[in-house]
Amino acid sequence: MFFIFDNNIILDTLSNARKEKFPSSLSVFDFIINESAHTGFISSSSIDNLEFVLYSEIKTTLNLERKITNKLVELAIMNLLDKVEIAKTPSYMEIDFDDIEDSQVVATARAIGAKLITRDKGIINKHHDIAIHPDNFFDVVKQEEKDIPFLDLKEINMQHFNEYEKAFDNVMKSGWYILGKEVEAFEKEFAEYCGVKYCIGVGNGLDALHIILRAYGIGKGDEVIVPSNTYIATWLAVSYAGAKVIPVEPDIRTYNLDPKLIEEKITNKTKAIIAVHLYGQPADMDAINTIAKKYNLKVIEDSAQAHGALYKGRKTGSLGDASGFSFYPGKNLGALGDGGAITTNDDELAKRIRILRNYGSEKKYFNEVKGFNSRLDEMQAAFLRVKLRHLDEDNNKRKEIAKNYMENIINENIVLPYVPEWADPVWHLFVIRSTKRDDLQKYLSENNIQTMIHYPIPPHKQKAYSNMNNLSFPISEQIHEEVLSLPISGAQKRYSSENIIRYLNLFEI
């Protein structure tokens, strides 16, 4: 949760006399600063006034030289800013002339969706929906902590609030919003991150896969091997290109394409294999690449769920001929809207993709082919550059939660994920299985734990593929009936994971 401290609370934490008189201010301040699940802010509008009051208080109590007093004030503010973040007072605030300072703090809190910690009775009465007196703080927090959401995107993104704000300002003031410096810089940084020569930003993950197929000239009359167990976008990309999807069943342990079952599906029409790194776990790429080489097929990775995952020490996105990424907000590397990218080491392919994503044009108003409008936009690229800097740290937090789940969920009715020794997954999702999946989900929900199902209906049973509804893919069907995704994210609190483990261990069939 996010909290803004009114100046009266900050001052309470700085002088001994105030600490004694208002002890709850200090305990609330310390709790917020030390609890990683919460972030404390000060409104940018408060700093000037804080400096003024501190100066007067030190002058009256200690009566020191002006220079020394100034230094003490500076140190106190520097020390405070080590602990709290500054939140910018919004330009669209409404000024309340009864108390301009209060209206600024309230506007700042509302702008970032924070609660305001204050002892000011006037604010509490007028803004009781967001203002909390420190004496009531712990009751409010306890109530909020009861619910465990599946994924709190606000919490995840607000961790980088200040960096986003700067990124927004930079793009806004640049006056250049499509295919500019931010996209170029992100493409370079993400290519480096994945360990490939090229990254080309596109509109979303589905377009990324579709454009790769188009760039290879795969279309009508061609067949593409896809996992029967995946998010439907993998299939849709093939269908958009005009080719036929040839589903292959997964390994029930990893939920990823089973290489042993690929060869029997290859015909003289097969042009490519799309390997999905589902739930953040890499597919068995060496085995897949060996088959592709034998039959001269392209290998396309669907890395939409696996930013940063490693296969035998190598990053996803560098393991096939080309790879599609999604930056949908819920992904490990998620934007604040749609976004996608293609990575490859193939010079010619990269060139064709750059043309295809931009109306089939390399030079403005000269169109070589009938291309698409599918470009990663400047604002999303700027936000993604912020997120990319924190991706490994965020993935490591996911790994810690996964380790905790793996070591401590002990219930024979629950199947935990299986990680082959060559895989270093990034846990986009932590997926368990149970033959009583629906009961389990209901039970967790009754205990305020939100879970999700990825995915309830396999692609071949969807209405969109009604021509395939009568086919049978029993492993996929079993997976779709039994899987349940537990909450996992870089912003997840330790107590949430502990609670989830406790309830799972108490679940009885």
Ligand X SMILES: Cc1ncc(COP(=O)(O)O)c(C=O)c1O
Binds ligand X (CB under 6 A): choice among 43, 118, 228, 326: 326
433: region left, alpha or beta (phi > 0 left; psi from -120 to 50 alpha): beta
CB of 305 to ligand X, least distance (A): 5
Q: Report helix, strand or coil for 427.
A: coil
Distance between CA 172 and CA 337 in Å, rounded? 16
SS3 label, residue 215:
helix
198-206, 248-256, 259-267, 363-371 -> range binding ligand X (CB under 6 A): 198-206
Is 254 a binding residue for ligand X by CB under 6 A? The answer is no
Question: Which one, 245 or 414, has the nearer CB to ligand X?
Answer: 245
The least CB distance from residue 341 to ligand X, in Å, is 10
DSSP state of 88: P
Nearer CB in complex with ligand X: 102/301 = 301
CB of 401 to ligand X, least distance (A): 20
**Residue/partner pairs of 495-503 with CB below 8 Å, 24 or more apart:** 495/37, 495/145, 496/148, 497/401, 497/404, 497/405, 499/148, 499/449, 500/148, 500/405, 500/444, 500/449, 501/404, 501/405, 501/408, 501/409, 503/443, 503/444, 503/447, 503/449
In angstroms, the first-to-last Cα distance of the chain is 35
How open is the CA angle 161-164-165, to the nearest 5 degrees?
Answer: 85
Q: Which of 323, 328, 327 is nearest to 342 (CA)?
A: 323
Tell me whether residue 118 or residue 234 sits nearer to ligand X (CB atom). 234
Among 204, 451, 485, 499, binds ligand X (CB under 6 A): 204
> Among residues 302 and 378, whose Cβ is nearest to ligand X?
302
Of 187 and 302, nearer to ligand X (C-beta) is 302
Size of interface with ligand X, in residues (CB under 6 A): 15
Closest CB to ligand X among residues 59, 454? 454
Residue 251's φ and ψ, nearest 5 degrees, are: -75, 125
What is the side-by-side order of every strand in the sheet holding 39-43? 85-87, 39-43, 2-5, 115-117, 131-132
Q: How far is the CB of 313 from ligand X (least distance, A)?
A: 23
Q: Which of 504, 388, 485 is nearest to 428 (CA)?
A: 485
Cβ distance to ligand X smaller for residue 324 or 490: 324
Shortest distance (Å) from residue 203 CB to ligand X: 8
Task: Report which secondary-structure segment, H or E, holds 484.
Answer: strand 483-486
Q: How far is the CB of 187 from ligand X (least distance, A)?
A: 17
Residues 256-315 within binding reach of ligand X (CB under 6 A): 276, 302, 304-305
Whole-number CA gyration radius for the chain: 27
Decide whether 271 or 307 has the Cβ nearer to ligand X.
307
Residue nearest to ligand X (CB): 205
Q: Which residues in the 220-239 window bind ligand X by CB under 6 A?
A: 230-231, 233-234
Q: Which is nearer to ligand X, 28 or 233 (CB)?
A: 233
Give the shortest CB-333-to-ligand X separation in angstroms. Answer: 11
Closest CB to ligand X among residues 234, 492: 234
Choose between 204 and 344: whose C-beta lies nearer to ligand X. Answer: 204
d(CA 200, CA 322): 11
- DSSP letter at 382? H
Alpha carbons 415 and 4: distance in angstroms, whole number: 43
Residue 168, token pair as written in the block: 């927004």
**Interface segment toward ligand X; rule CB under 6 A; list 167-175, 194-202, 204-212, 479-487:** 204-212
Which one-letter DSSP state was computed for residue 318?
A: S
Please pick, from the candidates 22, 41, 328, 359, the single residue that binds ligand X as defined by CB under 6 A: 328
Smallest gap from Cβ 340 to ligand X, in A, equals 5
Q: Which of residues 336-365 bind ligand X (CB under 6 A)?
A: 338, 340
CB neighbour list of residue 208: distance below 8 Å, 6 or more residues apart: 202, 324, 325, 326, 340, 341, 342
| Of 206, 309, 440, 491, the one binding ligand X by CB under 6 A | 206
**Residue 328: CB minimum distance to ligand X, A:** 4
**Least distance to ligand X from the beta carbon of 34, Å?**
36
For residue 345, the 8-state DSSP code is S
Stretch that binds ligand X, among 9-17, 180-188, 202-210, 365-373 (CB under 6 A): 202-210
Minimum distance of ligand X from residue 348's CB (angstroms): 24
CB of 483 to ligand X, least distance (A): 14
Question: Where do contacts with ligand X occur on this chain (CB under 6 A)?
Answer: 204-206, 230-231, 233-234, 276, 302, 304-305, 326, 328, 338, 340
